[in-house]
């Protein structure tokens, strides 16, 4: 694992206002803790921090941190929150480490190999876990963990429990998939044209319509008979 040097300056102005002033001067507020020693509030130059983290290991480096010119202490970054919009670093948590005590780190996962199922369009590669939580001695902290995907087929996966790295304990749930090949979902567009009625259905519809049309005519016949009968009774009465 890479080791870099970084200088810091103790910070006496604390709280939100102190952090705001530090950032205005191009510095990032930070804290140093661990190994049962007193916490130290400090700040580091923003440019120097970017340079320290610009190696291939990124933030997974051992930082030899010196505060106010004192002897450097071996540290790792345990937290580095960023502004959600500008992505600038807001604060850094440095943890002291001992060469003979394991540390817990988040290590990035790098996929290697070519998945034939994806290349042929039969599957979609889903990289579900971008980092793995590991515990190991500082000298064994890796830059990244490689996962081979060349053997994967559709509906197959590489789970946490299948990954093994020498001198490193992986802490994540062994049943979780790190990467898997999903089967593409087929999409069919709905038909917009209404289905035409069958020949038999059309005939039945016409017959029903005809029956309904004939009903009023049949109903008129009794009315006509009543009128004629009434007329005969009136003539008989006159006679």
Banded pLDDT at 95 (limits 50, 70, 90): very high
Banded pLDDT at 167 (limits 50, 70, 90): very high
Q: Which ranges in the chain are annotated with CATH 2.40.240.10?
A: 1-97
Q: Which ranges in the chain are annotated with CATH 2.170.120.20?
A: 98-188
Residues 11-67 pLDDT 10s: 888 888 888 888 999 999 999 999 889 999 999 999 999 999 888 777 888 999 999
Residue range 1-97 forms a domain whose CATH class is mainly beta
Does domain 98-188 fall under CATH 1.10.645.10? My reply is no
What is d(CA 79, CA 30) in angstroms, rounded to the nearest whole number?
A: 10
For residue 69, which phi and psi values (nearest 5 degrees)?
80, 5
Question: Which pTM does this prediction carry?
Answer: 0.67
What is the helix (H) or strand (E) element at residue 63, kind and residue range?
strand 62-67
Which residue has better confidence, 220 or 60?
Answer: 60
Q: What would the two tokens of residue 25 be?
A: 């001067």
Which CB contacts under 8 angstroms, 24+ apart, belong to 17-26?
A: 19/90, 19/91, 23/90
Residues 171-194 pLDDT 10s: 999 999 999 999 987 656 666 655
């Amino acid at each position: 694992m890479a080791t870099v040097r970084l200088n810091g300056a103790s910070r006496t102005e604390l709280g939100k206002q102190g952090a705001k002033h530090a950032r205005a001067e191009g510095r990032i507020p930070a804290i140093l803790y661990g190994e049962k020693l007193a916490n130290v509030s400090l700040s580091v130059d923003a440019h120097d921090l970017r340079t320290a983290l610009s190696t291939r290991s990124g933030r997974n480096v051992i930082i030899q941190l010196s505060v106010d010119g004192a002897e450097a202490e071996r540290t790792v970054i345990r937290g580095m929150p960023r502004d959600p919009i500008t992505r600038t670093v807001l604060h850094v948590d440095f943890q002291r480490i001992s060469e003979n005590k394991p540390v817990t780190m988040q290590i990035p996962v790098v996929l290697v190999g070519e998945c034939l199922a994806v290349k042929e369009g039969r599957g979609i590669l889903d990289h579900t876990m971008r980092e793995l939580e590991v515990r190991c001695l500082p000298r064994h902290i890796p830059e990244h963990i490689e996962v081979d995907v060349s053997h994967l087929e559709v509906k197959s996966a590489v789970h946490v429990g299948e990954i093994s790295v020498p001198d490193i304990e992986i802490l994540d749930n062994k049943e979780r998939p790190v990467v898997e090949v999903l089967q593409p979902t087929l999409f069919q567009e709905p038909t917009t044209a209404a289905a035409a009625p069958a020949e038999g259905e059309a005939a039945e519809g016409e017959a029903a319509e005809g029956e309904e049309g004939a009903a009023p005519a049949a109903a008129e016949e009794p009315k006509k008979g009543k009128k004629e009968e009434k007329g005969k009774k009136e003539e008989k009465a006159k006679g």
